[in-house]
Structure 1
Amino acid sequence: MDFAAATRTPTHHRMVERLRVRSFATRGDMSEAAARDIADEIRARLAVADGVRLIFAAAPSQAGMIGALIAEPGIDWSRVTAFHMDEYIGLATEAPQRFALWLQQRLFNRVAFAAVHPIIPEPEPRAAAAHYAELLTAAPIDIVCLGIGVNGHIAFNDPPVADFADPLDVKIVALDDACRRQQVDDDCFANLTDVPERAVTLTIPRLLRAQRLFCVVPGAQKRTAVERTLRGPITTDCPASVLRRHADCTLYLDVESDPDVWNG
């Protein structure tokens, strides 16, 4: 497919096993479409339930979608409870790279949620993980908004630690080098030595138990991971490949992240 033509017209939307794939000409179009779909899902659930429970990813790839979601009309945020899916261990409380702070600045402080539950690893990360698991299991999780890492991770379930049958809901993990390098490439840290080596993360089974998943993945640096997610074997070598098994997951791509733009 000619790249100039691809930037004018979105590639085809399609199904890959159970996974819906929606592809757009620009990152902005992708972000706005994902936000509309998430907003529609929130409004539909609020029409029949007292509240909605969401889990958010914190990453530059999610910023456009989050900004568009905040602008969506008719959402009663006072009936929405928010969680997030991972957090570094060892950063200062006010470090700008902390995911809870990133989300607080871009989302949690901008709309009036019923409740926001940040992951706070201090002072004892394992106790924090156990406490967060209890909060998550208090009621079903309706929606997860996630991305995919350059190594195929979802949350901080990197290939060396990903487990499709993990008995835990939240756990402590060591971050692999590809994951830590991504944080530098995303301009979140100045150099690799500044990136923490451990984190608290929701596990893959915990994420997959949510009723709806919306996965937003822009950018050329994610193209290989997306191709492995869509075409490779379902394996922890590419943890995101398991999204093809979820009953209700949509993957949103832009012209740079969609491998079919380049292979079609």
Structure 2
Amino acid sequence: MNNLSKTTLIDQLTVEVYQNRNILGQEAAKAVVLKMKELLSNKNRIRMIFAAAPSQNEFLETLTKAEGIDWSRVTAFHMDEYIGLPASASQRFGRFLKERLFDTVKPGVVHFIDSENSIEEECKRYADLLSEQPIDMVCLGIGENGHIAFNDPPVADFQDPSIIKSVELDLVCRQQQVNDGCFTDLKSVPTQALTLTIPTLVAANYLFCIVPGTNKSEALKHTLSGPITTDCPASILRQHGHCTLYADDDSFELVANG
């Protein structure tokens, strides 16, 4: 495989390391496209969940250019949304994915999380939609605190009985939103969000985890080298038999150096 720096298996998790985030995003997208085509050759429809974050930019851009996918047979979800931001806010995750992916590829169905709805009603509505059929694929990232979706360490639960829930965002998570350039300062970042739970995410048949950049190196070290614990929620990915994690030399640096 071109530009592949390293590949390794950690527990059940396949890890591929590329030279930089551009190549990482391109190669992850190629793998997702191949799996989509394979599934669509055997099924009438597939169901996918996407993450909204700057770490996904190169991956999403490559995905929009892929040829030969019948997106009209794709039902798409996203995995989290802020509570308290108006529908017009540029930081809304649904808007992020709409602008960077959905408006271009035009999936047959897109289910957006409506955090302006009653929280209890929205959790039930979205849970019902997610439960209609199994999820085929999840494309996700890892936060600086090791979160997947908005399952920060204080609220992460590997046996969570909920499909989607409201959570308080921890300080590291909120500061990351400033670091990523999504908000100008910490006080502008919402303190609550809706998130798909960890069991919902890992119940999918195939997971593709895109983790570029030096700012993710500490989280990636704990994910790959530490114990499997909610102190680093992403560590649960090591128990999924069909998950590939895509890193670059920057994000993998602390793991490589022990």
C-alpha deviations, 1:107-143, integer Å up to 9, x for none? 1111121100000011312211111000000011000
Identity across the alignment (%): 51
Q: Is the 8 A contact 1:255 1:261 kept in 2?
A: no
Q: Does 1:234 align with 2:233?
A: no
Q: Does 1:165 align with 2:159?
A: yes
2:27 is matched with 33
Q: Is the 8 A contact 2:28 2:208 kept in 1?
A: yes
1:5 is matched with none
Deviation at 1:11, TM superposition (A): 2.8
The 3 A distance-change label for structure 1 pair 177 and 261 is: closer
Length-normalised TM-score, structure 1: 0.95
Q: Among residues 48, 53, 56, which one is paired with 1:59 in the alignment?
A: 53
Q: Distance in 2 between matches of 1:201 and 1:130?
A: 13
Q: Distance in 2 between matches of 1:11 and 1:68?
A: 20
Deviation at 1:260, TM superposition (A): 5.6
Q: Distance in 2 between matches of 1:41 and 1:9?
A: 21
The 3 A distance-change label for structure 1 pair 88 and 222 is: same
Aligned to 2:166, the other structure's residue is in SS state: strand
Aligned to 2:9, the other structure's residue is in SS state: strand
Runs of 4+ in 1 over 2 A off after TM superposition: 8-11, 259-262
Deviation at 1:259, TM superposition (A): 3.0
Stretch moving more, 155-164 or 112-121 = 112-121
Q: Among residues 69, 72, 83, which one is paired with 1:75 in the alignment?
A: 69
Q: Distance in 1 between matches of 2:138 and 2:207?
A: 5
Query: In the TM superposition, what are the counterparts of 1:10-21 in structure 2 within 5 Å?
Result: 10-21=4-15
2:190 is matched with 196
Q: Is the 8 A contact 2:146 2:232 kept in 1?
A: yes
Question: Letter of the aligned partner of 2:244 in structure 1?
Answer: T
C-alpha deviations, 1:75-105, integer Å up to 9, x for none? 0001001000000000011000000001111
Length-normalised TM-score, structure 2: 0.97
Q: Distance in 1 between matches of 2:67 and 2:60?
A: 14
Q: Distance in 2 between matches of 1:238 and 1:57?
A: 18
Question: Letter of the aligned partner of 1:151 in structure 2?
Answer: N
Q: Does 1:213 align with 2:207?
A: yes
Q: Distance in 2 between matches of 1:214 and 1:138?
A: 22
Q: Is the 8 A contact 1:58 1:99 kept in 2?
A: yes
RMSD value, Cα? 1.3
1:252 is matched with 246
1:4 is matched with none
Q: Is the 8 A contact 2:77 2:112 kept in 1?
A: yes
Q: Is the 8 A contact 1:11 1:261 kept in 2?
A: no
Deviation at 1:255, TM superposition (A): 1.1
Aligned to 1:44, the other structure's residue is in SS state: helix
Q: Which runs of 5+ in 1 are unaligned?
A: 1-7
1:90 is matched with 84
Task: Give the count of matched residue pairs.
Answer: 257
Aligned to 2:152, the other structure's residue is in SS state: coil
Q: Distance in 2 between matches of 1:133 and 1:261?
A: 36
Q: Distance in 2 between matches of 1:123 and 1:144?
A: 25
Q: Is the 8 A contact 1:121 1:129 kept in 2?
A: no
C-alpha deviations, 1:31-73, integer Å up to 9, x for none? 0100000000000000000011000000000011011011111
Q: Is the 8 A contact 2:3 2:23 kept in 1?
A: no
Query: In the TM superposition, what are the counterparts of 1:78-157 in structure 2 within 5 Å?
Result: 78-157=72-151
Q: Which runs of 5+ in 2 are unaligned?
A: none
Q: Distance in 2 between matches of 1:138 and 1:40?
A: 25
Question: Letter of the aligned partner of 2:166 in structure 1?
Answer: I
Q: Distance in 2 between matches of 1:261 and 1:165?
A: 28
Q: Is the 8 A contact 2:4 2:18 kept in 1?
A: yes
1:3 is matched with none
Aligned to 2:6, the other structure's residue is in SS state: coil
Q: Is the 8 A contact 1:14 1:21 kept in 2?
A: yes
Deviation at 1:16, TM superposition (A): 0.2
